[in-house]
């Protein structure tokens, strides 16, 4: 089968491309404004990439067009379609489908799917769970919205029965407004956490809770729902109905709990010590992610003791507090955090790891997600940045005043309208021993390299 993927460089669609290629299909695709690591991964797989969405790509004449949710029927100011290729596909009557639907029909069918959902930590928890199953010899397939360092790629078919997938609540495609995860039909579903996000497609938290309940509805009676016991929103989801076994984690009365510092802790199952995790990660959020992975792995026969031991060699995911380099005595990190809660937990984890006297934290971020661009969470930004000594915001493209939003931080916050300006601000303020954390769900204009180069010249 020849598939041509529109929006191929997104983390999810890039994973679909990799799986299709591994399965022996011919894969081509197109996108605009691509950036690593996905573009590098696709080129290494020998997948032909086309820049843009020109209608001339109809000449590929694939068996099916696979449409990413970046594609819409939107038009440019002059009236021309923003995605002329999509218009040509519709006019021709050619066969097309969504990425999740293609995946469900050609990869997930007949597998024991373990799906990891949640507002935060999906990528990390999915990677943890995959590594646990790998270490247990189950040879799982997986699709992760990032690149797990233990595997060096975002997706593989795997030869075992299990398939682990990051289950996103964002909508499927312009012609299918259900959440992606409704297509996956998991036997093991992890509900990691849930708060308001994606203000561009959801009106409120209740709307997202309904989508999570749609996921719960697809889990069979012999399946398991693993749920964060401290999240009231997830309690409301389950109270809408649950027909499967439920295992909780995180709360004092949960089935799986932790005792100790997030960097080294005991795992308790209903109060009994059943394993110990000692690893390089930090932060309470990662401790909770670990409990979720352990509870999910238990459902497919991996003991908590073995799961905890496996996590000791877990190497995290690219762009999750990834050290990009050190220059002039200043360390520069890359992190995917873009929601205020994720920003706060990232900085809290680093502060806990550094301890007292471990150096200053300089937070550098861009409100790039659709939710942040709409300003739906701008009031939470000062709270999210409390652990940073200094904060720097790239305000380009925002429809709201970042300076006003960050005013409660006083002289601890600076705003730059361009990335070059932000780089100058950071370099002027940084000193030996500082930790600069760059946070964005995009490429951030290569700011990491620019900072390292500028710090070296200082």
- Residue 285, classed as helix, strand or coil, is helix
What's the chain's Rg over C-alpha atoms? 22
Strand partners, 6: 30, 67
**DSSP-based three-state secondary structure for 306:** helix
Torsion angle of alpha carbons 210, 215, 221, 225, nearest 10°? -90
**CB under 8 Å, gap of 24 or more: what pairs does 350-359 form?**
350/282, 350/283, 350/321, 350/387, 350/435, 350/437, 351/387, 352/262, 352/282, 352/283, 353/263, 353/282, 353/283, 354/435, 359/433, 359/434, 359/435
- End-to-end Cα, the chain, rounded Å: 54
Tokens of 148: 């797990």
Say if residue 141 carries a ligand binding annotation.
no
How far, in Å, are 210, 225, 274 from residue 286 at the CA level? 26, 19, 18
CB 111 within 8 A of CB 279: no
d(CA 419, CA 399): 17
Element (H or E) spanning 225, and its range?
strand 224-228
Q: Is 206 exposed, middle or buried (0-12, 13-18, 19+ CB in 10 A)?
A: exposed
DSSP codes joined into one string, 35-88? -TTHHHHHHHTT-EEEES--GGGGGG--SEEEE-TT--S-B-TTS-BS-HHHHH
Q: What are phi and psi of 50, to 5 degrees?
A: -115, 135
Tokens 């290629």 belong to: 21
| Beta-bridge mates of residue 272 | 269
Question: φ and ψ at 70, to 5 degrees?
Answer: -70, -20
Residue 356 annotated in ligand binding: no
Per the structure block, which two tokens stand in for 391?
A: 């904060």
Residue 188 known to bind ligand: no
At 268 the three-state DSSP class reads strand
Task: Confirm whether residue 121 is marked as ligand binding.
Answer: yes
124 belongs to an annotated ligand binding site: yes
Query: Which secondary structure element, helix H or strand E, spans residue 331, and what is its range?
Result: strand 330-335
Contact 439, 346 (CB under 8 A): yes
User: Is 119 annotated as belonging to a binding site?
Assistant: yes
CB 349 within 8 A of CB 283: yes
Rounded CA-CA distance 32/302 in Å is 42
Distance of CA 245 to the CA centre of its chain: 26
The total number of residues written for the chain in this structure = 458
Q: Is 346 annotated as a binding residue?
A: no
Residues belonging to the binding site are: 118-124
Annotated binding site for ATP: 118-124
């Amino acid at each position: 089968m020849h598939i041509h993927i529109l929006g191929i460089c997104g983390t999810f669609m890039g994973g679909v491309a990799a799986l299709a290629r591994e399965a022996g299909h011919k894969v081509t695709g197109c996108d605009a404004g691509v950036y690593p690591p996905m573009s590098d991964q696709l080129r290494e797989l020998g997948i032909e990439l086309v820049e843009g969405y020109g209608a001339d790509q109809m000449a590929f004449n694939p068996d099916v067009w696979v449409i990413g949710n970046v594609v819409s029927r939107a038009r440019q100011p002059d009236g021309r379609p923003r995605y002329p290729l999509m218009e040509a596909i519709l006019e021709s009557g050619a066969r097309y489908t969504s990425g999740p639907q293609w995946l469900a029909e050609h990869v997930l069918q007949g597998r024991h799917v373990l799906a990891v959902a949640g507002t935060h930590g999906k990528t990390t928890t999915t990677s943890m769970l995959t590594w646990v199953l790998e270490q247990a010899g189950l040879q799982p397939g997986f699709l992760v919205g990032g690149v797990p360092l233990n595997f060096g790629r975002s997706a593989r078919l795997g030869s075992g029965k299990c398939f682990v997938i990051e289950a996103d609540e964002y909508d499927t495609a312009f012609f299918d407004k259900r959440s992606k995860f409704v297509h996956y039909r998991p036997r093991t579903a992890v509900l990691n956490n849930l708060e308001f996000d994606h203000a561009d497609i959801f009106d409120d938290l209740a709307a997202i809770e309904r989508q999570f309940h749609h996921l719960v509805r697809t889990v069979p009676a012999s399946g398991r729902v693993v749920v964060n016991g401290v999240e009231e929103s997830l309690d409301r989801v389950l109270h809408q109905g649950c027909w499967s076994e439920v295992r909780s984690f995180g709360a004092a009365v949960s089935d799986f709990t932790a005792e100790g510092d997030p960097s080294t802790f005991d795992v308790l199952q209903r109060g009994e010590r059943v394993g110990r995790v000692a690893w390089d990660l930090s932060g309470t959020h990662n401790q909770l992610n670990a409990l979720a992975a352990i509870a999910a792995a238990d459902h497919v026969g991996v003991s908590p003791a073995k799961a905890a031991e496996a996590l000791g060699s877990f190497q995290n995911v690219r762009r999750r507090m990834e050290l990009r380099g050190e220059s002039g005595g200043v360390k520069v990190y890359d992190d995917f955090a873009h929601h205020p809660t994720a920003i706060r937990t990232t900085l809290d984890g680093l502060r806990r790891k550094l301890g007292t006297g471990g150096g200053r934290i300089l937070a550098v971020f861009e409100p790039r997600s659709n939710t942040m661009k709409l300003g739906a969470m701008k009031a939470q930004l000062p709270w999210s940045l409390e652990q940073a000594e200094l904060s720097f915001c790239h305000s380009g493209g925002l429809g709201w005043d970042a300076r006003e939003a960050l005013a409660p931080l006083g002289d601890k916050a600076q705003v730059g309208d361009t990335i070059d300006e932000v780089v100058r601000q950071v370099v002027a303020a940084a000193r030996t021993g500082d930790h600069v954390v760059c946070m964005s769900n995009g490429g951030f204009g290569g700011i990491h390299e620019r900072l390292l180069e500028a710090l070296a010249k200082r």
